[in-house]
Amino acid sequence: MTHSLHRLGTEENLRHDFCIYTRAAKGINREHCGDGLRKTLKIYISEDVVNYGSSHSGKSFMAGLDPEEYAKTLDNSYGVIATFADREAVAGVLKKAKEEQIGISTVVSGLIDEVVDIAHECGLHPHTATLSLGIYGKTELLPKREILEMTTMCGHSLIAAGLVKSVIEKIKAGKITVEEGARIIAKPCTCGIFNTRRGCALMKKMLEEKCAGCSDD
């Protein structure tokens, strides 16, 4: 699940950003995994979930994906991914998944110390860790860091810097609220890993600090 690892941010704002991906493995448990994935989805939405989705469904919860309709499609899928902003919700998901013994691999991404602590609280012992080593190359060609903190919440690069800037301009003009803006930005990310709560907090900070390069001024 490396596409959720490259979320740029500070330790402070990343403390409210977690992704959980339950994915069946080809040749091991992918066949007839629909029931297990439906149980997983039910567990996700039983907690304080922010967003979820699937490239198979073609849209996320923030783009109107209905959980009941989504559940019907999971016989033809192999994974379910969701986003959370609260560590207690993540702990709740892991505890319930452990109790259910669904038998499908689950990956949690977030600040590594935080994720490991949550796992230990739930009686789980992570066996593998993957780390993002940052961005290299002509980084001066990239958008401002504040914009990248928004766009990197979509690991498949479906959220454009121009969209973020356009939304910020509309918020500044009073045409939409910050919450509406976050939902607009989230829609292109079909996996559902764009964290709208963190997005709102980031945009509010940009507006308060009048971030240079965060709009088309």
pLDDT per residue over 11-35, tens digit each? 999 999 999 999 999 888 888 899 9
Contact yes or no for 196/189 (Cβ under 8 A): no
Position 211 pLDDT exceeds 70: yes
Query: Is the pLDDT score of 137 beyond 90?
Result: yes
What is the average per-residue pLDDT within 183-208?
96
Q: What is the pLDDT of residue 180?
A: 98
Residue 1's CB is within 10 A of a number of other CB atoms, namely: 20
Q: Give 181's strand partners.
A: none
Contact 43, 97 (CB under 8 A): yes
pLDDT at 1 exceeding the cut of 80: no
Residue type at 44 in one-letter notation? Y
Mean pLDDT over the full length of the chain: 92
Residue 216 has pLDDT above 60, yes or no: no
Contact 25, 105 (CB under 8 A): yes
pTM of the complete model: 0.92
Report residue 10 as tokens: 């500070």
Domains of the chain: 2-121 (3.30.70), 139-208 (no CATH)
